[in-house]
Structure 1
């Protein structure tokens, strides 16, 4: 009964709800929600739960500490997590756990959630956490799906939901093409703000789904698909609450009354912004971002390539064109399997058998699609006035057609709901929600990502592709590879879609991922971003110099967070109180995220 009510409830929309969707996408989102719930068979648990208490503090002391925090912030802004865990879906996700969990849902779960409204209240929470040695885990909006969502790495942490009450666009400068944002501003919200102000001369850069936090995505070094696709490279200026409660502003923000905080990222002295990206060294409460000038026109294009082995020569063609900015945006080279899955139909429509879906089944489905049969599809965008676009596109066409069987797809032949048009919108800075559809591939669809980085080279692309395909076949998993092509590097994004109510398939997904991480590292490829449960393993692959980088990170952690309260374990960085106590997750440790206690606080040194 509850599932039916949840499935038919209206999708939250802007501006009523800070995490809502743009009105022009509301109908599309409602349809996407129906598709998600049609494939859901996982039972809804109704029983009340006791809140999880983090290791290192007694239950009574913990509950008393929460009462103290309620008195400081207001009782309605501190929620104890003692209710049934609801998975929701992308637009109505939980902030207490990972809705797409690869482990038991009670494994990576928060004890409580707090909602600050200002930087000063974030300071209060940090000081409170130090007083009681309670682990805290900040989220912006909790939509980092495929990488852990809103879940804390340490079970029982108190989640700081920065987005619910800190969601203001503090400034949009139409002359400098910059903005200043709080954590709760989504790509949808920033896009709507530009439209509302009539700033058509500025674009945002959006990832595949626009519901995430601009600040959160940038700190995690996420990507978009315009020439401004490297989000971290496009930020300028942070306000950060340190783990001891002090507040700093980086770059030009450290100069009082300056007017260049969002226009020049460096300031004077050491550039400190980097230590707050993918780290647990501070809580970012404000971030500056640059915006892209409207290029005065744009034109999407799509080429298909027939053979698996075309991937290698295609990369050799792409690299010089991308470095020379003839190929201008962060484009995608997607495999036919993902092209079929993104249509939103369940796998069972195409194939009822076990093991990976056969290639001939995928190609038969492709023949029936508007795009036609292929193995690889390149989605790109050209910018500028018509004559400039024509010049660049002619070069691209001549180069791509050097691959036998290459085909340029005529956009006029494609229906409005074809995936091409989603890529068209995203590469033009218009957020969308279409990408979600491939999660419907399995019942109770969830996904987890493998994301190694390599040069844009034939040999690298083929090594990663062949390795991933072999391991997916070994574990009986459908292989969904897509290459996101940056300026001089590319990210291979492999999404494993699994049934989160099937323990066997979850284990297969984890085993496959752990093998891919190790084998990729042995070939010289590291991940740029990973799921919470894989952070220790991925961090361990960056082992040059007897782990010199991790030793450096641990020294920073101990200096900045002496009590070890802020997001312990994030990016594999554990505070001193947790080290050597079994908190690190590996294949050998199994599906348990907790270690054996934490060290007692050290006595202050008065010498």
Structure 2
């Protein structure tokens, strides 16, 4: 199939809540064009299995009760998912399935999508689901790519797309540096609103890509790259619709007329916010966030390190600098292959053979870049007035040069399209779009992430890097690791880029990830976040004291969601109605997303 002659313009923020800011429109069009240039599959495969009907209700009855929901919410806000499972790209993506599918495309698929307009609509949807025992899967914007996108864990769930109509910035307080947002507010939208209001004294913190939900990213414990990069740690106050339909506000929000909901997160009594993060215990409809004071200046910097074995001594240098806040933002140490891949060109431009791309080719390509030959690239940022930055940067320079062959790259020598400048924006709280481009490494580029947590120590970095290298070599997959260093821990983020139309490649990627998860767990490293299809496996590694944590989560689930309607299986937490019926996705190749039915009740007769 040929590339479409024309590509439609990406929607802007003025046209759609999920759109791109005007300032990034040209970049979005270029990114979209590059993606379609490497795509070989332009039409969705025909659906062989028809509409995905949730288990426990007949097809006829499901269609009948869906009409009841239309009556409650409005005809135009309930859509049956009976159309092609089209792909798209980051800015224009499906909300019914994962466009970067690791399983068969018809596995993680919604039966329908409903668009609530307010909290009362969410309550109506939850009440309807309880009546008919129909699983719901709430999404904010559905851009959790690499972790499942908008797909539901249980095939046939009804997706609750909160972002389409619930996308208001409810408040921005310029005095206490806080905001209150609904699920459909993206980092792009929040940043642009601050600029529109002239609030230059406040920054946001953004992930690598700015199109995701501020609320959704924090709930999944995502990260950004300013000192406010731990998004969950800087939230304050939730409004939650429980699976029974009740609405609660956490922290100070439980006090009627509270004037400190966004400024003090704890309130009185047990701190309950945590149970709504990475869980299926409630639908969050509002969230407060702290905004960062403008530090009065900033300066990005970059160093390169020549050898693979520099990783361990470099981590020993980074740890005390990061803990003491000389290194102020989330430190990023990336393998040089990502520097090549983020240019947006396909792997075939550099290597057409089988197996991982040879090291000698990687280094030959690096010699052609403004960075020169190296193995590791460090991206950092210093904040504050010039004399403060100089003090900290001099310390960093002195320490980094203890690695033989380390080089500081002068930003003035870098072209405007060098990836460094995208990291410069992100570390200054300015949402960008550059990070997307490395998915073009493969045709029909998709990605899935391995994301373990470890201490900031050379021995730990080496162990994780070694096990990832071993499993990637076995699978014949290119290794693209990045170490993201927090204050006292580091995330290793390994993105496996694969062709979603290639069954063999999908299975190799799945096998590689599952092996790495088990390998890491045996060494004491656990995932902090994972893809839908890996959640059962990852949850199973947190099994101290006879799975005490999961048993506790199950008790909470059954108490808060007695009918098991809300996102069953998310983060490995299954309601009683599904337990023991084979719903967990294991390590077998080509696994499915459905189990052997649900626990019968009187509705089963219908």
1:259 aligned partner: 259
SS of equivalent residue, structure 1 residue 449: strand
State the 1:446 CA deviation: 0.3
2:173 aligned partner: 173
Map 1:232-271; keep pairs closer than 5 Å.
232-271=232-271
Q: Which moved more, 1:586-595 or 1:52-61?
A: 586-595
Distance 2:77 2:153 in 1: 22
Verify the 8 A CA contact 2:511 2:589 in the aligned structure 1.
Answer: no
Verify the 8 A CA contact 1:535 1:571 in the aligned structure 2.
Answer: yes
1:30 aligned partner: 29
1:200-251 deviation digits (Å, cap 9, x = unpaired): 0000000000000000000000000000000000100000000000000000
1:75-111 deviation digits (Å, cap 9, x = unpaired): 1000000011110100000000000000111000000
Distance 2:602 2:53 in 1: 22
1:426-451 deviation digits (Å, cap 9, x = unpaired): 00000000001100001110000000
Verify the 8 A CA contact 2:104 2:590 in the aligned structure 1.
Answer: no
State the 1:45 CA deviation: 3.2
2:549 aligned partner: 549
State the 1:15 CA deviation: 2.0
The alignment status of 1:573 with 2:544, answered yes or no, reads no
Distance 2:352 2:407 in 1: 31
Verify the 8 A CA contact 2:366 2:372 in the aligned structure 1.
Answer: yes
Cα pair distance change 1:545/1:415, threshold 3 Å = same
State the 1:52 CA deviation: 1.1
Verify the 8 A CA contact 2:302 2:408 in the aligned structure 1.
Answer: yes
1:14 aligned partner: 13
2:340 aligned partner: 340
Distance 1:42 1:571 in 2: 31
Verify the 8 A CA contact 2:333 2:377 in the aligned structure 1.
Answer: yes
Map 1:8-407; keep pairs closer than 5 Å.
8-45=7-44, 50-407=50-407
Moved segments of 4+, more than 6 Å: none
The alignment status of 1:561 with 2:561, answered yes or no, reads yes
State the 1:50 CA deviation: 3.3
State the 1:3 CA deviation: 6.4
Distance 1:376 1:513 in 2: 23
Distance 1:93 1:370 in 2: 34
Distance 2:554 2:447 in 1: 31
1:327-379 deviation digits (Å, cap 9, x = unpaired): 00012100011111111111011111100001110000000011111100100
State the 1:602 CA deviation: 7.8
Verify the 8 A CA contact 1:166 1:184 in the aligned structure 2.
Answer: yes
Distance 2:141 2:44 in 1: 24
Q: Which moved more, 1:237-246 or 1:8-17?
A: 8-17
The alignment status of 1:410 with 2:395, answered yes or no, reads no
Distance 1:321 1:373 in 2: 26
Unmatched tracts of structure 2, length 5 or more: none
State the 1:51 CA deviation: 1.8
Verify the 8 A CA contact 2:44 2:87 in the aligned structure 1.
Answer: no
1:527-563 deviation digits (Å, cap 9, x = unpaired): 0000000000000000000000000000000000000
Verify the 8 A CA contact 2:304 2:409 in the aligned structure 1.
Answer: yes
TM-score (normalised: structure 1): 0.98
SS of equivalent residue, structure 1 residue 8: coil
Cα pair distance change 1:176/1:522, threshold 3 Å = same
State the 1:42 CA deviation: 1.6
1:475-500 deviation digits (Å, cap 9, x = unpaired): 10000000011011000000000000
SS of equivalent residue, structure 1 residue 288: strand
TM-score (normalised: structure 2): 0.98
Distance 1:251 1:522 in 2: 38
Cα pair distance change 1:538/1:47, threshold 3 Å = closer
Distance 1:98 1:540 in 2: 23
Unmatched tracts of structure 1, length 5 or more: none
SS of equivalent residue, structure 2 residue 4: helix
State the 1:60 CA deviation: 1.1
State the 1:2 CA deviation: 10
Distance 2:253 2:602 in 1: 35
Distance 2:369 2:601 in 1: 62
Map 1:425-436; keep pairs closer than 5 Å.
425-436=425-436
1:55-75 deviation digits (Å, cap 9, x = unpaired): 000111101111000011111
SS of equivalent residue, structure 1 residue 535: helix
Distance 2:89 2:314 in 1: 37
Distance 1:483 1:448 in 2: 16
State the 1:46 CA deviation: 7.2
Distance 2:316 2:343 in 1: 30
Map 1:477-496; keep pairs closer than 5 Å.
477-496=477-496
Cα pair distance change 1:467/1:133, threshold 3 Å = same
Distance 1:226 1:471 in 2: 32
1:471-528 deviation digits (Å, cap 9, x = unpaired): 1001100000000110110000000000001011110000000000000000000000
Verify the 8 A CA contact 1:3 1:44 in the aligned structure 2.
Answer: no
Distance 1:164 1:336 in 2: 38
State the 1:593 CA deviation: 1.2
2:518 aligned partner: 518
Cα pair distance change 1:516/1:602, threshold 3 Å = farther
1:273-300 deviation digits (Å, cap 9, x = unpaired): 0000000000000000000000000000
State the 1:588 CA deviation: 3.4
SS of equivalent residue, structure 1 residue 4: coil
